[in-house]
Structure formats: C-alpha cells, structure tokens
Amino acid sequence: MAKKAKTQFECQNCGYISPRYLGKCPNCGSWNSMVEEKIQDTTDRRTRSTLTGEKMQATLLKDVTPRKEPRVKTSLDELNRVLGGGVVPGSMILLGGDPGIGKSTLLLQVSQQLAATGGKVLYVSGEESAEQIKMRAQRLGDEDNDFYLFAETDMQDIRDTIEKLQPDYVIIDSIQTMTQPDISSVAGSVSQVRETTAELLKIAKSNGIAIFVVGHVTKEGSIAGPRMLEHMVDTVLYFEGDKYQSFRILRAVKNRFGSTNEIGIFEMYEQGLKEVSNPSQVFLEERLEGTSGSAIVVAMEGTRPILVEIQALVTPTMFGNAKRTTTGLDFSRVSLIMAVLEKRAGLLLQNQDAYLKAAGGVKLDEPAIDLATAISIASSYKEKGTKPTECFIGEIGLTGEIRRVSAIEQRVKEVQKLGFERVYLPKNNLSGWQAPAGIEVVGVATLDEALKRVFR
C-alpha cells in the first residue's frame, strides 16, 4: 500500500505552521493566509556545511585566518557608500522597494558597470523576457558592456547555468518568482522563498559569487515572504521614494560589511538613474524666502550631513479636537515637541491644527531635528519667517532644555559650505572644536531662549 503523503498548513505572511487548516493565523492574525503544503522527507540529513560544501570542524578562534576580500566599486558612488565601500565577493544583497520605483533599472545599470570592470555577470529574470531587458538597456544607452541574460524561474536550471558560466555576479529578479521543482507549493509562497534563498546563499558562499536579489514588498512596506529572508542575507537595501517624483533614496537597514545608517540619493531620468552628489542643495533649491513655517536642519544620515527643510502649517481648528499630520517626521516626536512648546514657551497650540513635513521626500528620525521642528511650528504660529541664512540643530528635552547632539563639527561645516551665515545649536556643543570662518555659531540652552533670539 502506497504511503500517504503528509501535509501541513503554512501561513504565507509569517511562516507559522499548523497541522490543520485555520481561517485566522494565531501568530500574525492574518485571515485566509494558511496554504496546504506537503511535508518534505528529511531523513537524508546533510553532514556538510550548507555554506562551503565542506565538512566542518571546531577551530580555535586564534587559528582562524580571516580572508581579505577586495571590494569591487561600481560607477555609482552613492551605491558604493550604502554598501560600505563596494560589492563584497560572496555576499548576498536583498533589494526591496515598491513596484515601479526603479529596482530593475538600478540593477541593470549595476550589471553593466560590473561587466565593465571585467567581471562576468548573469542577470536572471523571472518577470521579464530577454527582449524586454534588451529594450531597457537600449533606453539606458549603454550596450557596450555585455553580460549574460537568462529568463528562467526554475532553480535547478539556474543552478546548472551558474555552474556552467561560473559568473562573478548574479542578479535574481525577483526571488518571489523563483521555484524549487521538488516543492509542491506555488511561487512566492513561504516555502519556495525560504528554500530558493537558502540555495542561492549556498551558491554565493561556496563559490564566492556576489548575488543581488530583488524582493517584492507588502502594502505595509516590508519585504514580502518570511521574516527569516532578511536574516539569511548579508545586506538588506530599501529603494524608497514616490514613483510620481524623480528622487529615489537607497537605504541600508542591514549590512554585515558596513554601516546601516548610510543612504544614497538618485534622480530618475529617461536614461536611467543618476546619482545626486549634493543632496542638500537639491532639497533646498525650491525654498521660498520670507515665508513662515520653515526651518532648515542638518540631519546626519550615516557619515553624511544633509540639509533639509522642515515645513509646518499651523491653523486654528474648526471642529472639535485639533488635527495633527506628519510626513517624513515621527508623529509621536512632533506631538511631544508641540506639548513642550505649549508648556515651556507659552504657545497655545491645543486649539490649532498642525501639518508638518520634511521637504523632498526624505525621512528624518534623529533627535537633532527637534529644534528646527519647534522653530518651524512657532514660525507658522507667530506668522514670522526665519532668515534664509539661518540653520537650527538640537534635541529638545521635556523640561525645555536644548541637549547636545553628535557630529556637530561635520554639521556646521556642511552649513558653512552651502553659504549659511548663522547656526543655532546646543550651548553644551560649543566646546572642544573650532567653528569655520564665515559663520556665526549661536549657543542656546533652552527652547524659550532660542525662540526669543530667533523672533526678537
């Protein structure tokens, strides 16, 4: 009598496994996400490392000799910065972003540039045909640097092609379209994504191949598939921005070979993505002089200082409770700052609607933007504009004090380079460094003092 295949039910959102069907996942709470899958036979246990293919033994830490892998730089300095200096051989990089944001365009440009360095590149597409990729390459205007195209979703065929070509770099577009033939579930399911990612990770580590993987995102903005997907790879990048605007931000949220605070800024053109070498000037070029509700702050994104305009619109509320809306700023932090303004500076904001945003589509979440946020709110409330040559840096405490921030010298140098004449910063940040010539540094100890100096 034939042995009946065992099945289980797995949640497609979080990977929770149940022996029977459940309408609602008890782990993540999603409805109708349980899919029936056959249980794979695991009697054939592997005794070798899944990363190197060799049998592993315990080794003393002092006897381990680290390998120094040279990074390969692309022509996009913004991408090199986010990756920590370039592409590391044998690494696995996951790139996520909304549909139409430019993920495939970015990786196609990266493929051309890596091919120009003398590396062999294999571009595997599960969403587009080779002819469609050729048309995009023609639009980008750089067809001289050849690389291999392979329109396939079967991991067995992809693995055989990689063994045959022995490429230095592999692009997988996208992981949700790839399938393992010995798994019965559909493409994009938790099992398929998990197993194909594990297979690609083994190929990357055992052969020293750098693999870029495109991942779809959910409506909440996180990468689709099991959460372990982000834990398996070496680097996780998010490509952000409004598809109706030209600017794109590449942000690292995980990087085993560099900082997770770096961002790269690009602008989308018909000929592809071009890096923005001076984002501060771009974010400030459309600022109107003399208008109320505007303040400039120097935010640190990794090691890079960026000047951003914070805008506020404060108007009397018409119905019941006052409304608060933020774009690019943390809602809870804005509410805190408005409470401090009301308690410590005497601004009656409880009957005022407030709308705040960080201009240019950038997201700011560091404490140093507090003072500029408070100044923009007070400026709109008082109908008094700030001077176009002034900048504000500082964290605000609940008692109204202006607290010190990090990297103050780099921030002030960026302000001076862009022609600003005065910068307000925490009084405790004045010692230990020398301000550059041509800029006035004003130290303030409290929020009330800062407001009196700015709007005197």
Pairing of strands 34-38, 7-11: antiparallel
| Total domains in the fold of the chain | 3
User: Does the annotation place 101 within a ligand binding site?
Assistant: yes
Q: Which residue has the tokens 């409880």?
A: 350
Residue 59 within a domain: no
Residue 102 annotated as binding site: yes
Rounded CA gap, 221 and 31, in Å? 19
Q: Cβ contacts of residue 33 below 8 Å, gap of 6+?
A: 11, 12, 13, 25
Residues 320 and 258 in one domain: no
344 assigned to some structural domain:
yes
Same domain, 134 and 256: yes
Among residues 255, 277, 299, which one ends one of the domains? 277
Judge if 297 and 368 occupy the same domain: yes
Residue 55 tokens, joined: 């049998």
**Is 65 part of a structural domain of the chain?**
no
Predicted pLDDT at 405: 95
Q: Could you give the CA distance from residue 33 to residue 153 in angstroms, rounded to a whole number?
A: 24
Both 421 and 400 in a single domain?
yes
Examine residue 44 and state whether it is found in any structural domain, yes or no. Answer: no
At residue 301, the pLDDT reads 81
User: 104 a known binding residue?
Assistant: yes
Q: Do 290 and 414 lie in a common domain?
A: yes
Structure-block tokens of residue 349 = 């904001």
Same domain assignment for residues 321 and 371: yes
Q: Are residues 259 and 197 in the same domain?
A: yes
pLDDT reported for residue 43: 45
Q: Which of 277, 309, 332 is the last residue of a domain?
A: 277
Q: State the first-to-last Cα distance of the chain, in angstroms, to the nearest integer.
A: 92
Query: pLDDT tens track of the chain, all 456 residues?
Result: 445 557 888 887 777 888 888 888 888 888 888 887 776 554 444 434 444 455 667 889 888 887 776 889 998 999 998 998 899 999 999 999 888 888 999 999 999 899 988 889 999 999 889 899 888 888 887 666 688 999 999 999 999 999 999 999 999 998 989 999 888 778 888 888 888 999 999 999 889 999 999 998 877 667 766 677 888 899 999 998 876 678 888 989 899 988 887 888 898 888 889 988 888 877 787 888 878 999 999 998 877 889 999 999 999 998 878 999 999 999 999 999 999 999 999 999 999 999 999 987 788 989 999 999 999 999 999 999 999 899 999 999 999 999 999 999 999 998 998 889 999 999 999 998 988 888 999 999 999 999 999 998
The CB density around residue 132, as the number of other CB atoms within 10 Å, is 14
Residue 46 lies in a domain: no
| H or E stretch covering 232 | helix 228-232
State which residues form the domain around 31: 7-38
Query: 398 and 260, same structural domain?
Result: no
State the amino acid at position 154 in one-letter form. D
Considering the domain architecture, whether residues 99 and 30 belong to the same structural domain is answered as no
Assess whether 134 and 207 both reside in one domain. Answer: yes
Structural domain contains residue 53? no
Q: Which contiguous run of DSSP H or E holds residue 312?
A: strand 304-316
CB 117 within 8 A of CB 145: no
pLDDT at 456: 83
Contact between 218 and 230 under an 8 Å Cβ cutoff? The reply is no
pLDDT at 55: 63
DSSP helix/strand/coil, 106? helix
In a domain, 215, yes or no: yes
Return d(Cα 363, Cα 327) in angstroms, integer.
Answer: 8
Task: Pick the closest to residue 307 from 352, 331, 273, 276 (CA basis).
Answer: 276
68 falls within a domain: no
Residue 9's beta-bridge partner residues? 18, 36
93 annotated ligand-binding residue: no
Which CATH number do you get for residue 216?
A: 3.40.50.300
321 and 409 assigned to the same domain: yes
> For residue 192, which of 166, 167, 215 has the smallest C-alpha distance?
215
DSSP codes, 257-305? TS-SS-EEEEEEETTEEEE-S-HHHHHHTTPPTT-SSEEEEEEEETTEE
pLDDT for the residue 194: 86
Domain edge (last residue) among 277, 300, 331 = 277
419 marked as binding residue:
no
Q: Is 357 annotated as a binding residue?
A: no
Q: Would you say 103 is a known binding-site residue?
A: yes
Task: Specify whether 170 is located in the same domain as 84.
Answer: yes
CATH assignment at residue 297: 3.30.230.10
The phi and psi torsions of 299 (rounded to 5 degrees) equal -100, 140
Residue 144: its pLDDT value, please?
64
